[in-house]
């Protein structure tokens, strides 16, 4: 009897073990997978954040970030999630009662408006239908209508819709005005081509947990000379996200408050990976993964949600008669694959598959194979192999360099 009980509990333990053998596969557009060498670098004893070693890590990280962001501007490392960088950009460049133009085309760009509201900044919302790219001509028109705009707030990759916006063209428009251009590049940087200086981005806001291959907890903001003029013209109400305070400390490669130094150690390793592969090659790899994923999804008869897809994720429309949660839950239960659904008004309407950072073409192929099986299981007509074949065709084509 006792032996029997023991055996049955052993079986329970064993089956739990068996379940945990399933690899968790983050195919979410943040957080994204973190490479083993980055994880190991962070598993070291904590060092003091004012030590020479800690400062050296900041020196090297900032140098690496400059190469990845394609900027000569100063970069600040903030201990926050990506939104902290957005808040820093807004609250330091636009005084209370000042005006911002928000290129509102999704859940994350709408967040710019919410940040403005919190600080008494007047946000003029230039609305674009979700899934469509922002039209630079409309930005030009809005700026002539609102010549007192201090900051234009846009997005490189709108993660809620899977859309890449024409930041280069918008940057040209903004550069002709007195306004500065703040760009949320949180899910775009490291996944999509972006030239901060050449494209006229005055404040580039980035977070650690997307294509930069780190856990959440760090935010980065680059600041141009044009932006410093705005920043120096008034006293920002922010204490923690005050860029003037950060600039004073950065002179000696320090931060005003204790940074998440363990993450900075990981950052150094993650940036070295990107630089070793080559920034342009990283962009090209993402373009290929994105093309392959889109081809696979479309071969299944599923429609892409975005008219101008971003390269770190693919968003597809949930077909009639199928529940998005059924697709996502089955992907997770059967294959350990985590994906996300839609936010706000897109809840239940789309599924978003992340393929950014520490992700390769084979991850996309296996993700598509799993999607085929899961779609068949939820009653959607699937010809096995059809998505995989379409993706392979893309991957068999010559490598396009950037
Ligand atoms: C993830 C994301 C954010 C939010 O970043 P947090 O790190 O959660 O603060 C903002 N904008 C975009 C485009 C994102 O992808």
Q: What is the CATH number of domain 23-32+279-395?
A: 3.90.1150.10
Q: How far apart are CA 132 and CA 196, in angstroms?
A: 23
Tokens of 118: 């919190």
H or E segment to which residue 78 belongs: strand 74-79
Instruction: Compute CA 316 distance to the chain's CA centroid, rounded to the nearest angstrom.
Output: 18
Give 3-state DSSP helix, strand, coil % of the chain, rounded to 5: 45, 15, 40
214, 193 contact by CB (below 8 A): no
Tokens of 377: 């299981």
Ligand 1 centroid to 161 CA: how many Å? 13
Residue 78 neighbours by CB under 8 Å, 6+ apart: 84, 85, 88, 218, 219, 220, 221, 241, 246
CB atoms inside a 10 Å sphere around CB 2: 6
Ligand 1 centroid to 108 CA: how many Å? 7
Look at residue 22 in the predicted model and tell me its pLDDT.
Answer: 73
SS3 label, residue 369? helix
Ligand 1 centroid to 188 CA: how many Å? 10
Look at residue 398 in the predicted model and tell me its pLDDT.
Answer: 87
Ligand 1 centroid to 158 CA: how many Å? 9
Tokens of 398: 């010559």
H or E segment to which residue 26 belongs: strand 25-26
C-alpha distances in Å from residue 11, one per residue of 16, 333, 356: 8, 20, 38
362, 392 contact by CB (below 8 A): no
Phi-psi bin for 355: left (phi > 0), alpha (psi -120 to 50), beta?
Answer: beta
**Ligand 1 atom, smallest distance to 29 CA:** 15
**Ligand 1 atom, smallest distance to 157 CA:** 13
Ligand 1 centroid to 194 CA: how many Å? 17
Look at residue 1 in the predicted model and tell me its pLDDT.
Answer: 39
Tokens of 330: 């089955």
Q: Which of 78, 103, 106, 108 to mutate to test the pocket of ligand 1 (most atoms within 8 A of CB)?
A: 108
Output the 3-class SS for 295-325.
HHHHHCCCCECCCCECCCEEEEECCCCCCHH
Look at residue 402 in the predicted model and tell me its pLDDT.
Answer: 83
**Ligand 1 atom, smallest distance to 86 CA:** 10
**Residue list, ligand 1 pocket, CB within 6 Å:** 30, 81-83, 108, 155, 157, 159, 184, 186-187, 207, 216
Look at residue 376 in the predicted model and tell me its pLDDT.
Answer: 98
Where are the CATH 3.90.1150.10 domain residues in the chain? 23-32+279-395
- DSSP class of residue 357 equals S
Where are the CATH 3.40.640.10 domain residues in the chain? 36-276
Tokens of 236: 């920002």
Indicate which residue's Cα is closest to atom 11 of ligand 1. Answer: 108
Q: Which residues of 26-35 are buried (b: 16+ CB within 10 A; e: fewer)?
A: bbbbbbbbbb
Q: Residue 298: exposed, middle, or buried by beta-carbon count in 10 A (0-12, 13-18, 19+)?
A: middle
Q: What is the CATH number of domain 36-276?
A: 3.40.640.10
Ligand 1 centroid to 206 CA: how many Å? 8
Strand partners, 151: 100, 180
Q: Which residue has the tokens 């201990």?
A: 79
DSSP string, 52-110: HHHHHHHHHHHHHHHHHHT--SEEEEEES-HHHHHHHHHHHHS-TT-EEEEEE-SHHHH
Ligand 1 centroid to 209 CA: how many Å? 9
Q: How far apart are CA 353 and CA 302, in angstroms?
A: 13
H or E segment to which residue 273 belongs: helix 261-277
Look at residue 4 in the predicted model and tell me its pLDDT.
Answer: 47
Look at residue 23 in the predicted model and tell me its pLDDT.
Answer: 78
CA 338, 343, 349 angle in degrees (round to 5)? 80
Look at residue 37 in the predicted model and tell me its pLDDT.
Answer: 98
Q: What is the mean pLDDT of each run of 10 residues along the chain (402 residues)?
A: 49 53 87 98 94 96 98 98 98 98 98 98 98 98 98 98 98 98 98 98 98 98 98 98 96 92 98 98 98 98 98 98 97 96 97 98 97 98 98 93 84
Indicate which residue's Cα is closest to atom 6 of ligand 1. Answer: 82
Residue 311 neighbours by CB under 8 Å, 6+ apart: 157, 164, 191, 192, 283, 286, 287, 289, 290, 356
């Amino acid at each position: 009897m006792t032996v029997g009980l023991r055996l049955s509990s052993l079986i329970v333990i064993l089956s739990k073990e068996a379940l945990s053998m399933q690899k968790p596969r983050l195919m979410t557009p943040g957080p994204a997978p973190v490479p083993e060498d980055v994880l190991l670098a962070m598993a070291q004893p904590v060092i003091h954040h004012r030590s020479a070693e800690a400062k050296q890590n900041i020196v090297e990280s900032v140098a690496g970030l400059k190469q990845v962001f394609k900027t000569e501007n100063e970069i600040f490392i903030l201990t926050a999630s990506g939104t902290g960088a957005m808040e820093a950009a807004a609250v330091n460049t636009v005084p209370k009662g000042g005006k911002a133009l928000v290129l509102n085309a999704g859940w994350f760009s709408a967040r710019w408006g919410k940040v403005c509201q919190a600080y008494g900044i007047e946000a003029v919302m230039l609305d674009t239908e979700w899934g469509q790219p922002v039209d630079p001509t409309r930005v030009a028109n809005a700026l002539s209508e609102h010549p007192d705009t201090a900051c234009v707030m846009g997005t490189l990759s709108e993660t809620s819709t899977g859309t890449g916006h024409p930041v280069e063209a918008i940057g040209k428009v903004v550069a002709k005005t007195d306004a500065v251009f703040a760009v949320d590049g949180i899910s775009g940087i490291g996944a999509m081509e972006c030239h901060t200086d050449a494209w006229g981005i005055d404040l580039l806001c980035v977070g650690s947990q997307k294509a930069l291959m780190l856990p959440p907890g760090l935010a980065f903001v680059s600041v141009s000379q044009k932006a410093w003029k705005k920043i120096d013209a008034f006293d920002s109400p922010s204490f923690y996200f005050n860029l003037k305070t950060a600039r004073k400390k950065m002179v000696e490669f320090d931060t005003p408050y204790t940074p998440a130094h363990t993450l900075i150690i990981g950052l150094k390793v993650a940036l070295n990976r990107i630089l070793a592969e080559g920034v342009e090659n990283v962009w090209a790899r993402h373009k290929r993964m994105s093309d392959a994923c889109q081809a696979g999804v479309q071969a299944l008869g599923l429609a892409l949600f975005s008219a101008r897809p971003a390269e770190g994720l693919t968003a597809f429309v949930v077909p009639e008669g199928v529940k998005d949660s059924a697709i996502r839950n089955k992907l997770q239960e059967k294959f350990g694959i985590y994906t996300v659904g839609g936010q706000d008004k897109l809840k239940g309407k789309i599924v978003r598959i992340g393929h950014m950072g520490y992700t390769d073409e084979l991850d996309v192929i296996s993700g598509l194979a799993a999607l085929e099986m899961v779609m068949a299981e939820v009653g959607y007509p699937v010809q096995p192999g059809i998505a995989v074949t379409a993706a392979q065709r893309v991957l068999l084509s010559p490598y396009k360099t950037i």
